[in-house]
Each structure stands twice: as structure tokens, then as C-alpha cells.
Amino acid sequence: MKKKVIWILVGVFVILPIGIGAIGSFLPSSSTSSDPVSSSGEAANVELADCNAPKATDLESIQSGHIDAPFKILNALQIRTGEVLVREIQEIAPNAESENLIAGFIDQTDEIGVWTVGTSGGPINAINDVAKRISDWGSAAQPGSSADQMRTIIENSVEAETIKQCVTAVRE
């Protein structure tokens, strides 16, 4: 057990930052690249370097909401929703605040699940089809409801695309 904890800590605090740093070194500098653009057309300023390790308690909470079989999230990373995305969501839910998008490969598959978790460990919502299929987080949201509309906005955001790219890059 002690060795497992040590390897987890080494992975989170040594290997993961090195991997993310290596990925960042291959990206063009901000002076030569164009900023990602949100659906509203404003620059989102989100980069792969913005991805970091989620809290273990957040992962455990997400995994506890399984529908049929328990699952594990592998290569999990998180990114914070930016101001542009929060403003888009606030058009539907004026009290919306920044959240963490957490994504990772689902064990024994090549699928990436994406969830949001409140920054203080608050409500969890399954964002993409993979997450909705295996977990019951946000299952009360009816098609066309405000919650469903917010999910769609988040799923199509620059942040969601970036977190999936981060997860894929860490796995490779």
C-alpha cells in the first residue's frame, strides 16, 4: 500500500508536470499562434498548460456515481472554466460560477469521459455522452432544459476540447 501511495505521488507531482511541460514545449508561442475562440467569438486563452491533476476526492466522487458497473478514470486531468465560458453559461443561469472540468480515459476503453465539479467540491455533472452513459451525475436534466443547454455549451467549449487533448497527450 505504501509503495502504491508513493508511486501515485511521484506520478502526480513529478511525472505529470514533466509530461505537461514537454507538451507545452512543442506548442507554438502565444505570439505566433491564434487564441482559441469560444462560440461567442471571444478569445478564451486556454492552453494545454492549463491542465492539472484533479483532487482525489473529486475523482472518487465522480466514480461513486456509476450507473451499472463501477468504473475508474485513468489519466485524469482538470481545467478551470474560463471567464468567456462562464459568461455564456450565465446567459442561461445567472448565478453560474467557474467550475472544474475533469476528464480522463474510462478504464478498459479508449473513451474519454468529461464531468464538471464545483470548485468547492460542489455539484457534479456528466457533460459528454460517455460520462452520461456510465454515471448518473446530472441525469435529472431533461432534454432542452436549462441544465441540458448548459451541458451542451460546456461540451462544445474550448475548455472541453483542451482537457480532452491534455488527457490524450498524457496517455501517449
pLDDT digits (tens, 9 = 90+) for 80-132: 999 999 999 999 999 999 999 999 999 989 999 999 999 887 799 999 999 99
Q: pLDDT tens digit string along 123-158?
A: 999 999 999 999 999 877 888 898 899 999 999 999
The Cα 12–Cα 55 span in angstroms is 10
% residues pLDDT > 70 (the chain): 73
Beta strands in 11-111 (DSSP E): 73-80, 99-106
Short-list 14, 46, 20, 18, CA closest to 33: 46
Question: What domain range is 100 assigned to?
Answer: 2-171
Residues 6+ apart with CB under 8 A from 98: 80, 81, 82, 83, 86, 119
Residue, of 136 and 47, whose pLDDT is higher: 136
What's the rounded Cα separation, in Å, for the pair 32 and 132?
A: 38
According to DSSP, the residues that pair with 79 across neighbouring strands are: 101
Identify the residue with better confidence: 165 or 24.
Answer: 165
Q: Is 20 exposed, middle or buried (0-12, 13-18, 19+ CB in 10 A)?
A: buried
pLDDT score recorded for residue 40? 38
User: What domain count does the chain have?
Assistant: 1
Distance CA 172, CA 153 (A): 28
